[in-house]
Amino acid sequence: MPLKLSANLGFLFQDKPLLERFEAAAKCGFKAVECTNDIYEVDKDVLVQAKEKANVKVILINMPKKVTALPGKESEFKESLDLAIDYATALDCPRIHLSPGSLSTPMDWSNPEWQAARSTYLSNVSYAADLCSPKGIILTLEPLSTIPNVFLQYQQQAADYIRELKKDNVKLQFDFYHAQRNGGNLCEFLEKNIDIVGHVQISQVPGRHEPDLEGEINCPFVFKTLERLRFDGWMGAEYTPRSTIEEGLDWAKEYINNS
C-alpha cells in the first residue's frame, strides 16, 4: 500500500510564521500537514482560512496541555481536550495526540506517584476515547524518549495500554526517532503491532534530520516494511532539515506524490 506523507508544521518551515507554513508546505508538494501546540495561539477560524487557502488537509493536532497522566489535573485535562476537539472539528482533523506530561521523579513503578499516574492516564484516555468516538476522532499515544521523567517512554508500554483499554479509536503514534532511541527493533515491533498503529512520524537518528540513510536507521527498509504491512495512515515528516527543506526533499518525492 503506498505511503502518504504529511508535513509537521512544528518542525518544518520554522523560518516562517505559523499561518504561512500551510502555503509553504503546499508549495513543496505536501497535501497534508500536522500541527503542534502553537495552533492554539491562533483563532481556529483563521487557521481554517490558511488551510483552505493552501488546499491542504490537517491530519493531526496535539492537545494543548501535557497533563493526561498527571494526578490532580483531571479538570485541566478535560478543558484541554475540549479545546482540542473544538479545533479538530473546525479543521476537519481526524486525529488528536494526547500528551502524557512529566512526573517529578524518574520512572519507578514501585513509586506511588507512578502508580497513581498510570491510573490517571488510563482513566483520562478512556474518557477521551468515549467522548471522541461519536465524533470520528482518533486519539494517538506517543512514547517520548527525550523528555526527562515523561510518563510514556516506550513503544511496548504504549501498546500494552492500548490493548488494555480496548478502545477502537485509541492508536499508537509510532515515531522513528523516539522508537530508535528507546529500544530500536523498529520493524520487529511494527510486525507485531501494526494493527494498533494509527500514525507514524519520521526522522533520522542522531540529529533528528531527514529520514534517509545518513544515520542509525535504515529508513527506506522501514518504509518498505510499512508498505508490506499495508499501513494505511499518514507519515509525518517531523525533522529538522540539514540545510533547506527544499534541498532535503529528494527522499520524500515518492511519498508526497502518493498523498
Catalytic residues: 142, 238
Distances (CA, A) of 129 to 56, 137, 188, 195, 233: 26, 8, 28, 17, 19
For 196, residues 6+ apart whose C-beta sits below 8 A from its C-beta are 159, 162, 163, 171, 172
The residues pairing with 172 across neighbouring beta strands, listed in sequence order, are: 141, 197
d(CA 141, CA 89): 19
Q: Can you read off the three cell numbers belonging to residue 176?
A: 522513528
- The residue count of the chain comes to 259
Three-state DSSP at 52 gives helix
Those residues with Cβ within 8 angstroms of residue 153's Cβ, 6 or more apart along the chain or in another chain: 107, 143, 144, 145, 182
CA angle centred on 153, ends 33 and 111, rounded to 5°: 145
- In angstroms, how far is the first alpha carbon of the chain from the final one? 12
Closest CA to 203 of 23, 7, 4, 13: 7
Q: Give the span between the Cα atoms of 250 and 248, in whole angstroms.
A: 6
- H or E element at residue 33: strand 32-35
